[in-house]
């Protein structure tokens, strides 16, 4: 009886940990898998690029097809940001290759055809999907939800999002997310709600003292307050560094 209970408990622990979602700040789980671009080890093969790993429920389905076409349309934008993309579903490599070939023939939104350069990962045994918590049991035990992991150049998870099967993702949002993450990494600023590249940013500190303002009145043009602890910096400021001495 004791052995039986121990086995049940062990199985329970293993399956629960299989479904753990990698959280923001954690190391991106590593895996090797077969893809439309050959075998890859993720995230290591992408070196010090940023990475976005997206899951989708099923090949040859309309919402997923529209998502891959939008993602392919943005490949240049992601490249400029130093981002490598990878897509996974529980379908196998044969279906992935057929689907990719079909998508590459389409003239979606009259933009002409697109090549899908990023790897589409096969995951018929759901190993990758489980590793990244892309299978949400209450929804389906064998078909991924729409997951998105943004991973930085040091392979740290920086953003985690899940979307339902019924709703196609806004792929531009992931460009915006990377732009915001890279900006907040290079400068001590935060981005306000609905921020877009070039917009004003939040400075999470008092940007100048009375003495600094007296010494450099131009600071008042660069920073402004809209309320309690809501200091902003002009988005087009040439440098948005903490150090005000340069002014
Ligand atoms: C779709 O991508 O269109 C889709 C995928 C799975 C279930 C239903 C729709």
The average pLDDT across 104-123 equals: 98
For the sheet containing 120-122, what is the strand order? 38-42, 31-35, 120-122, 83-89, 50-55, 146-151, 157-163
In this predicted structure, what is the pLDDT of residue 174? 98
**Cβ of 213 below 6 Å from ligand 1:** no
Whether residue 245 is predicted with pLDDT greater than 50 in this model: the reply is: no
Q: Report CA(17)–ligand 1 centroid distance (Å).
A: 27
What residues does 31 pair with on adjacent strands? 42
Known catalytic residues are 64
Whether residue 97 is predicted with pLDDT greater than 70 in this model: the reply is: yes
**Tens digits of residue pLDDT in 136-172:** 999 999 999 999 999 999 999 999 999 999 999 999 9
In this predicted structure, what is the pLDDT of residue 13? 43
Q: Report CA(72)–ligand 1 centroid distance (Å).
A: 19
Report the residue among 59, 60, 64, 163 best suited for mutation to probe ligand 1: largest number of ligand atoms under 8 A from its CB: 64
What residues does 87 pair with on adjacent strands? 54, 120
Whole-angstrom distance, CA of residue 6 vs CA of residue 99: 44
In this predicted structure, what is the pLDDT of residue 239? 52
**Angle at Cα 84 formed by Cα 146 and Cα 23, nearest 5°?**
50
Q: Report CA(143)–ligand 1 centroid distance (Å).
A: 10
CA-based end-to-end distance of the chain: 75
Nearest CA to 122 among 100, 152, 137, 138?
A: 100
Please give the model's pTM, rounded to 2 decimal places.
0.90
Q: Report CA(96)–ligand 1 centroid distance (Å).
A: 15
According to DSSP, the β-strands at 83-89 and 50-55 are parallel
Whole-angstrom distance, CA of residue 121 vs CA of residue 119: 6
Report the residue among 165, 166, 167 best suited for mutation to probe ligand 1: largest number of ligand atoms under 8 A from its CB: 165
**Cβ of 140 below 6 Å from ligand 1:** no
The average pLDDT across 77-99 equals: 98
**Tens digits of residue pLDDT in 26-63:** 999 999 999 999 999 999 999 999 999 999 999 999 99
* Ramachandran region, residue 43 (left: φ > 0; alpha: ψ -120 to 50; beta: rest): alpha
In this predicted structure, what is the pLDDT of residue 9? 45
In this predicted structure, what is the pLDDT of residue 236? 77
DSSP 8-state assignment for residue 68:
H
Whether residue 244 is predicted with pLDDT greater than 90 in this model: the reply is: no
**Cβ of 29 below 6 Å from ligand 1:** no
In this predicted structure, what is the pLDDT of residue 238? 55
Cβ atoms of 49 and 40 within 8 Å: the answer is no
pLDDT tier, 20 (very low <50, low <70, confident <90, very high otherwise): confident
**Cβ of 54 below 6 Å from ligand 1:** no
**Tens digits of residue pLDDT in 215-243:** 999 999 999 999 999 999 999 765 544 44
């Amino acid at each position: 009886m004791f052995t039986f209970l121990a086995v049940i408990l062990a199985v329970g622990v293993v399956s629960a940990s299989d479904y753990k979602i990698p959280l923001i700040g954690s190391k991106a789980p590593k895996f090797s898998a077969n893809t439309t671009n050959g075998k890859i080890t993720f995230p290591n093969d992408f070196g010090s690029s940023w990475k976005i790993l997206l899951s989708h429920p099923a090949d040859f389905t309309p919402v997923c097809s529209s998502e891959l076409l939008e993602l392919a349309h943005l490949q240049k934008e992601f490249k400029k940001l130093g981002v490598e993309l990878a897509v996974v579903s529980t379908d196998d490599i044969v279906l992935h290759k057929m689907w990719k070939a079909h998508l590459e023939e389409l003239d979606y939104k009259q933009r002409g055809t697109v090549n899908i350069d990023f790897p589409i990962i096969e995951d018929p045994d759901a190993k990758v999907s489980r590793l990244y918590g892309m299978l949400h049991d209450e929804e389906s035990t064998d078909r991924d939800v729409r997951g998105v992991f943004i991973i930085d150049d040091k392979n740290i998870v920086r953003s985690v999002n899940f979307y339902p099967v019924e709703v196609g993702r806004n792929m531009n949002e992931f460009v915006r997310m990377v732009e915001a993450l890279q900006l907040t990494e290079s400068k001590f600023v935060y981005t306000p709600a609905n921020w877009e590249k070039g917009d004003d940013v939040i400075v999470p500190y008092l940007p100048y003292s009375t003495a600094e303002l007296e010494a450099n009145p131009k600071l008042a043009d660069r920073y402004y307050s809209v309320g309690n602890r809501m200091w902003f910096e002009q988005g087009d400021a040439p440098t948005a560094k903490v150090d005000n001495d340069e002014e």
